[in-house]
Amino acid sequence: MNKFLTVFFGVLIVFLTSGVIFGFAPLQDVLISEGAFSYLCDNENDQCDKQAHRFVFLFTISSSAFNITSFLSGLFLDKYGPRYCYYLGCVIFATGLLILGLTSNIYIKNETLGYLSGFLLVGSGGPFIFQSFLHVSCLYPNYKGLITTAIVSALEGSCIVFALFNFLYFNYDIVSSTSFYYYSIFTLIVGVLYLQPKEKFTMELSVNNDYHDLIEESPQQRASSINDSSYIQHQEDIKEELKNQDFWKQVTHKWYYSFFCLYMISGLYRVNYFTSSLEIFLSSKIQDDDVVKDYISYFGWILPVVGILVVPIVGKALDTLKLQYNLIYLSIIGLLMNITCFFHNITYQIITFTLMAIFRAALFSILCSFLTYKFGYNNYGSLLGLSLCFTGIIQFTFDPLTVYIQDHGFYNINIIFTIIAIIRFIFPIMVYKDEKYFNLSVSSYQNNVRDSFRSLNNN
């Protein structure tokens, strides 16, 4: 029961805190209505490109902070353990919310400095909280994929917090500063009440059945047990060779390099840029500010809700399908997501929102499962953080890309993103061909199984 509660409350806390920054689009609507950066426009009652550009800049910095800080949080996690990593994340996150509340309440006069520092801290605190909970999936080895997916989907679902701020503002006139203050206090309370372990949980796999149980089995059952045990042992021998290597050898390994370069960076870049430029994107489909606001609100709810609903499906796929098949369906979803962006009718963008929610949840889940499956837990936080850090650095191109889109539209950029989505199919093909690791041949250990069976019969 204690293990279940540990997993349950871990997923819940991640849901309430870690990925809040990715719900930026609904919050942006609130801040614009409150007059944030209205001085950049000639008519302060109307929106303008300069104001939209400033919000893209804020999201670029904050989302990049989430990714870049992931490397630091990973190093911190590997060195000091999940408890202190979690505490530090809660303090950073709550401080960011407090600064945002002070800025919204005009206690901080410089809007750019106030919002920038606040969103920067909110984005930076998320990875410390998120990574500190990933190890709880080891408590249930048979459901590791499902639990990892649940934690990752909770990260995605936490963007619903700013959608809630949006709902409270437009329906109950609760200003953003009030929401920021109360949520800051709530985060600190949660941080104090939940006690993380000092050391990460590890998953100990037993690959051999008890000898006495084997003696009592029938020959057919005994053969099956030996076959399963030998297969698992053979897999573990191959895995351990890479898992026991140091950080830099793991980083330079071909599978890690190709995975984070081709999948993590390109996939997250696409999703995060779509979020940051959502208002500009929707405005290119229809010249109606009210409709655009409605669709921004839809996006704010679809992203977390769909991400949570697909947890059992993605988790089951991770637990039962080989990695290459997970990568194939993920690549297909990514490609369809880019294709629907070409549809001019804004109604079809609901499909884009849904595909994006599934893609993001599955992308993170597969990455996390891949790292633990191939590289183990010794450098897990650092490896995950480094891949996110590279993503964050590349996201600094959001700003010039937005300038280009405002002048030339989305069409050419969508073509580039679609080509990249097609290129991503290379990785599952590479995985499929690597029989040494992902598709072990029965013939490579069949003789060993046969010899073990004969030896047991002789005894």
CB half-sphere exposure, 195, CA atoms < 13 A: 1
Q: Name the band, by pLDDT with cuts 50, 70 and 90, for residue 226.
A: very low
Is residue 347 a part of any domain in this protein? yes
DSSP letter, residue 261: I
User: Any idea which residue has 């290379």 for tokens?
Assistant: 426
**Average predicted confidence (pLDDT) for the chain:** 79
| Range with the poorest average pLDDT among 1-15, 48-62, 253-267 | 253-267
Amino acid at 333: I
* Domain at 424, CATH number: 1.20.1250.20
Read off the DSSP letter of residue 260: I
More confident residue, 206 or 245: 245
Is there a domain that residue 455 lies in?
Answer: no
**Residue 379 pLDDT grade (very low, low, confident, very high; cuts 50, 70, 90):** confident
pLDDT for 331 equals 92
- Does 32 have pLDDT greater than 80? yes
Q: How confident is the model at residue 354 (pLDDT cuts 50, 70, 90)?
A: very high
List alpha helices for 36-138, DSSP H.
Answer: 49-80, 82-104, 111-133
Is the pLDDT assigned to residue 446 strictly greater than 70? no
CA distances from 145 to 123, 152, 275, 370, 410 (A): 26, 10, 27, 10, 36
pLDDT of residue 223: 45
User: Cβ distance 56 to 399 under 8 Å?
Assistant: yes
The token duo for 325 is 């098949």
- Looking at residue 322, its pLDDT comes to 80
Higher pLDDT: 159 or 205? It is: 159
Closest CA to 399 of 266, 292, 273: 273
Structure tokens at 127: 């990875």
Q: Any idea which residue has 């500190």 for tokens? A: 132
Residue type, 139: L
Q: Looking up tokens 């709550």, which residue turns up?
A: 94
Q: Which residue has the higher pLDDT, 409 or 240?
A: 409
454 lies in some domain: no
CA distance 275 to 149: 21
3-state helix, strand, coil in the chain (%, to 5): 80, 0, 20
Residue 258: what pLDDT?
66
DSSP symbol at 43: S
pLDDT number for residue 440: 42
- Please check whether residue 131 is in contact with residue 84, taking contact to mean a CB–CB distance below 8 angstroms: no
Which tokens in the block code for residue 121?
Answer: 């801290």
Q: What is the pLDDT of residue 260?
A: 64
Dihedral class, residue 173 (left if φ above 0, else alpha if ψ from -120 to 50, else beta): left
The larger pLDDT score, comparing residue 260 to residue 271, is at 271
Confidence of residue 22 (pLDDT cuts 50, 70, 90): confident
| Number of domains composing the chain | 1
Helix (H, G, I), strand (E, B) or coil at 459: coil
Tokens found for residue 259: 């995975």
Non-local CB neighbours of 22 within 8 Å, separated by 6+ positions: 63, 66, 156, 158, 159, 272, 275, 303
If one compares 445 and 401, the residue with the highest pLDDT of the two is 401
Q: What is the pTM of this model?
A: 0.70
Query: Exposed, middle or buried, 226 (CB in 10 Å: 0-12/13-18/19+)?
Result: buried
| pLDDT higher than 60, residue 217 | no
Domain contains 217:
no
Q: From the DSSP assignment, how many helices (H) and strands (E) are in the chain?
A: 23, 0
> pLDDT tens-digit profile of 161-214?
998 998 999 889 898 889 999 999 999 998 888 888 878 776 543 333 333 333
DSSP class of 205? P
Poorest-pLDDT segment among 126-135, 300-309, 380-389: 380-389
CB 253 within 8 A of CB 434: no
Local structure of 207: helix, strand or coil:
coil
Q: What is the pLDDT of residue 143?
A: 80
Give the chain's radius of gyration (CA, Å). 24
The secondary structure of 266-281 as a DSSP string is HHHHHHHHHHHTHHHH
Q: What is the reported pLDDT for 218? A: 44
Which residues are CB-contacts of 32 (< 8 A; sequence separation ≥ 6)? 38, 47, 51, 55
* Cβ count within 10 A of residue 46: 10
| Per-residue confidence (pLDDT) for residue 105, from 0 to 100 | 77
What letter would DSSP give residue 209? -
What share of the chain in percent tops pLDDT 90?
17
Closest CA to 363 of 248, 454, 223, 262: 262
pLDDT digits (tens, 9 = 90+) for 64-87: 888 888 888 888 888 888 899 999
What beta strand segments (E) does 326-409 contain?
none
What gap in Å lies between CA 116 and CA 55, rounded to an integer?
10
Domain ranges, residue 10: 2-205+231-444
Amino acid 279: pLDDT: 82
